[in-house]
Amino acid sequence: MDRLDNTVRPYAWGSTTAIPALLGTEPTGEPQAEMWMGAHPGAPSRTGRGTLAEVVDADPEKELGAASAAKFGPRLPFLLKLLAAGAPLSLQVHPDLSQARQGYEDEERRSVPLDAPHRNYKDANHKPELICALTEFDGLCGFRAPAETADLLDGLGVASLKPYVDLLRAHPEDAALREVLTAILTADPEEMSRTVTETAAACDRLGGAYAPYADIAHHYPGDPGVLAAMLLNHVRLQPGEALFLGAGIPHAYLDGLGVEIMANSDNVLRCGLTPKHVDVPELLRIVRFEAGDPGILRPEASPDGEEVYDTPIDEFRLSRYVLPEGSGVHDLTLPTPQILLCTAGTVRAGEHELAPGRSVFVPADETTEVSGSGTVFRATVRV
């Protein structure tokens, strides 16, 4: 079992206080957006045996277990994070496995440099993800029913929104969403900026259901992503609740602290709320134009105290143990690799005492016992 020393990424949208408060450290004044736990080459966790990527590479079958290595290859297939949003992230969508492979192979064939700003596919993997709230957490997830969005936009009284309102009311659901998103992202930039400015002022004046979009516009004035965001469901998670983001589902995180887990990929197609490249044709190929309930997940408890967040993919499995004082020792031994992350109280994992924000990597089949009083998240795989 290896204690992990993890990198905190200073993305501009990150909270300056949430991760330091969890870790019990002083804020630096700079944003601290994500703390990465895993073997992703962008920021692998460090251990006493080298980086976690080096540890896994040295003996994949021993560290990952035979079943995981056979199913996912000689790499840790998930990345665990603490995510602290102090401002809205870019509105984005992720490809499925087939789309990622096709996109990656196409850009490789065209010799698009991996670090090129217009590159869409950094690898050939998909990126399903799950976010579990540690604090109240705001986000956008999936398309709202077009008729409801039409009513929302119509209520703003902004004349330049009328064509979008009419489209949303006049077409079948998938065609309506596709046409409106396409129109928003391909509109004349100056005209769109004026429309967004008027829309933001109306949202700010009316408040209520419009308040989240007024805040988004405050951070991204004139950005067409503000209107794109209004097509999506606004979701407010309470601590312990989660969202699963599958392929093709547009989403954005707005504010709050959570535990995030994803397949080990960096493939993102952006829809707006960003100065980065927006590839509209490729985005429209990836997005699933389906409206629906975002589907808030709550953990399912098992007799041994494990609370599991059930998702339909195999690259990761996230659960938590909420350990009351005097609950004894819990055996967490598995034939698959694990990362254990403490988020509250003090938890002992093997020989390591974990305070909030501290984590360990557990190789497959290593005897793993936890005790103490607090909350520990367990990340592993399904085989």
Nearest to 205 by CA among 194, 219, 217: 217
User: How far apart are the two ends of the chain, measured CA to CA in Å?
Assistant: 21
Q: Are 363 and 337 in contact (CB under 8 A)?
A: yes
Residues whose CB falls within 8 Å of the CB of residue 167, separated by 6 or more in sequence, listed in order: 176, 179, 180, 183
Q: 275-297 as b/e, with b when 16 or more CB fall inside 10 Å?
A: eeebeeebbbebbbbebeebeeb
What 3-state DSSP class applies to 156?
coil
Q: Are 343 and 259 in contact (CB under 8 A)?
A: yes
Cα separation of 151 and 155, whole Å?
6
Between the CA of residue 75 and those of 54, 56, 217, 254, 264, what are the distances in Å?
10, 7, 40, 31, 9
Residues whose CB falls within 8 Å of the CB of residue 154, separated by 6 or more in sequence, listed in order: 161, 162, 165
| Catalytic site residue from 144, 270, 317, 358 | 270
Angle between the 146-154 and 162-170 helix axes, to the nearest 10 degrees? 160
**Would residue 285 show up in a list of annotated catalytic residues for this protein?**
no
Nearest to 219 by CA among 12, 62, 52: 12
DSSP 49: T
Catalytic residue list: 270
